[in-house]
Amino acid sequence: MDYTSATPREPVCLLSPEQIAGPYFRNPKLIRRNISEGQDGIPLVLRLVIVDAMTGEPVSGALVDIWHCNARGAYSGWSRINPDVEVDVSHIGAIARTDDDTYLRGGQFSDNKGVVRFTTIYPGFYAGRALHIHVAVRIAGGNNYLEERHVAWVGQLYFPEVASRSVLNAREYKGRSVSPLSNVQDHYYETMGGEASTLTVHCIGRDTTDDGFFGYMTIGIDTFAVSTQIKPEDFDKYTV
């Protein structure tokens, strides 16, 4: 994060670690709770609480975007990229888009308790990565929230290995030519605070995982910070 634009403040609660946005960030301006668009996979209900780490108070009115791959490892916008072949790039705009699909992307505004909720599927994986969900938090500085480019925080959310193993054995996720990395094998998990970015996950059903999972996490941000992971100029890139 870039703190040069404001007087540094000491956090009163945990400041969540930032991680890279990756090459598949888009800004389709989709405000919706259900982002699944009928994608096959094990259901996932995601609850995130956005908290001001400097005050401990919930952050209301923040635009929280999430995006992740489908059960087979593909991202909307890049659906024709082979997820079984490792991509040796990590920065926004590095890979040309292949389509205008929008599955498994969307944003919500945090309520007065700092909460956003999403209905999606448990993500699969692509070569060279552990299972994860991308998150970006924008703090609105004006009236046009959807045009806001002040991204305060960018991160990735990981999953407990036990839950992921059961999901990857499901029909929609099996039959890949590559294997996922475990969390500790993932470069970004290991070097950018992945342990502190791991969701708490519970089965929704009592005796089966078929009904899906509920995952939740509290994310502590500095609302005055400007993330170095998604910059205002990134919104202008053709691939985004």
Q: Provide the whole-model pTM.
A: 0.92
Cα 185 to the center of its chain, rounded Å: 19
Q: Confidence band (pLDDT; 50, 70, 90) for 98?
A: very high
Asked whether the predicted pLDDT for residue 131 surpasses 60, the reply is yes
- Provide the β-strand partners of residue 127: none
Residue range 172-188: average pLDDT? Answer: 95
pLDDT of residue 6 exceeding 80, the answer is no
Q: Region 179-194: what's the mean pLDDT?
A: 96
- Categorize the per-residue pLDDT at 202 as very low, low, confident or very high, splitting at 50, 70 and 90: very high
- Return the structure tokens found at 75: 């991202």
Residues near 140 by beta carbon (within 8 Å), at least 6 away in sequence: 61, 62, 63, 148, 150
Amino acid 150: pLDDT = 85
In a domain, 32, yes or no: no
Say if 35 falls within a structural domain.
no
Token pair recorded at residue 33: 């709770």
The model's pLDDT over 142-156, given as tens digits with 9 standing for 90+, comes to 556 677 788 999 999
The reply to whether 23 falls in a domain is no
Per-residue model confidence as pLDDT tens digits over 10-53: 665 689 999 999 999 998 889 999 999 999 999 999 999 999 99
User: Would residue 10 count as lying in a domain?
Assistant: no
E strand segments, the chain = 43-52, 63-67, 105-109, 115-121, 132-138, 151-158, 200-203, 213-221
Q: Is residue 12 part of a domain?
A: no
Query: Does the residue 9 lie in any domain?
Result: no
> Which range marks the domain in which residue 178 is found?
43-236
Task: Report which of 127, 104, 120 is spatially closest to residue 176, judged by C-alpha positions.
Answer: 127
Q: For residue range 60-69, list pLDDT tens digits in order.
A: 999 999 999 9
Other residues' Cβ atoms within 10 Å of the Cβ of residue 40: 14
pLDDT at 2 over 50: no
What is d(CA 145, CA 31) in angstroms, rounded to the nearest whole number?
11
- Note whether residue 219 is domain-resident: yes
Number of domains in the chain: 1
Say which CATH number the domain at 70 has.
2.60.130.10
Domain contains 16: no
- 3 state DSSP class of 27: coil
